[in-house]
Every structure is written in C-alpha cells, then in structure tokens.
C-alpha cells in the first residue's frame, strides 16, 4: 500500500467516524423530541426501532403499532468537494 493510499484511507476513516458521531447525536436528539426513551428501548427484548438502508439513504422508524411505523429521521451521505456530507430530514 502506497503512502498516499494510506493517508487517503485514514482521512476517509476519520470523516466516516465523524459522520457516524453526528448521526448518533441527531438520532438521540430526534428521539428525545418524540419522547421516545432510548434507555428503555435498549432494555427491551423486542426492539421498536428499525433502520432501513437503501444506497446512500438511511431511515430510522419507530414501531408505533401502525403498518408503516413512525419515521424518526432520514440521513443521506453524499460526497461534496471530496468530502463526505451528511444531510437529514
């Protein structure tokens, strides 16, 4: 592995870790807004959160006893100017 490749891999890994950290914080914030207790969710045997991954889009749903569930948050990760960018709605 060349030195340039190793540096690029390290930079990508760092960017990916930062995006993961941002996603975790945003998800916690959104669950708090919806009054969903994450601590209780972690203790439940049957989980109520479902993550749907499609291409560069990740949507988190909460089982609220409806057919579709409650969409909590959707993340997309794109590359802008050689950097990873996180958007959410």
8 Å CB contact between 59 and 73: yes
Per residue in 15-44, pLDDT (tens digit) is 889 989 999 999 999 999 999 988 888 888
Q: What is the 3-state secondary structure (H, E, C) of the chain?
A: CCHHHHHHHHHHHHHHHHHHHHHHHHHHHHHHHCCCCHHHHHHCCCCCEEEEEECCEEEEEECCCCCCCEEEEEEEEEEECCEEEEEEC
Per residue in 49-72, pLDDT (tens digit) is 999 999 889 999 999 889 999 999
pTM listed for this prediction: 0.76
Domain count, the chain: 1
Tell me the residue range of the domain where 74 lies. 3-88
Instruction: Give kind and range of the element (H or E) at residue 54.
Output: strand 49-54
């Amino acid at each position: 592995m060349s030195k340039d490749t190793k540096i690029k891999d390290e930079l990508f890994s760092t960017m990916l870790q930062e995006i993961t950290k941002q996603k975790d914080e945003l998800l916690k914030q959104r669950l708090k807004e919806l009054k969903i207790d994450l601590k209780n969710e972690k203790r439940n045997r049957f989980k109520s959160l479902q993550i749907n991954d499609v291409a560069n889009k990740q949507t988190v749903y909460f089982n609220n006893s409806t057919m579709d569930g409650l969409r909590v948050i959707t993340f997309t990760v794109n590359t802008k100017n050689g950097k990873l960018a996180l958007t959410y709605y």
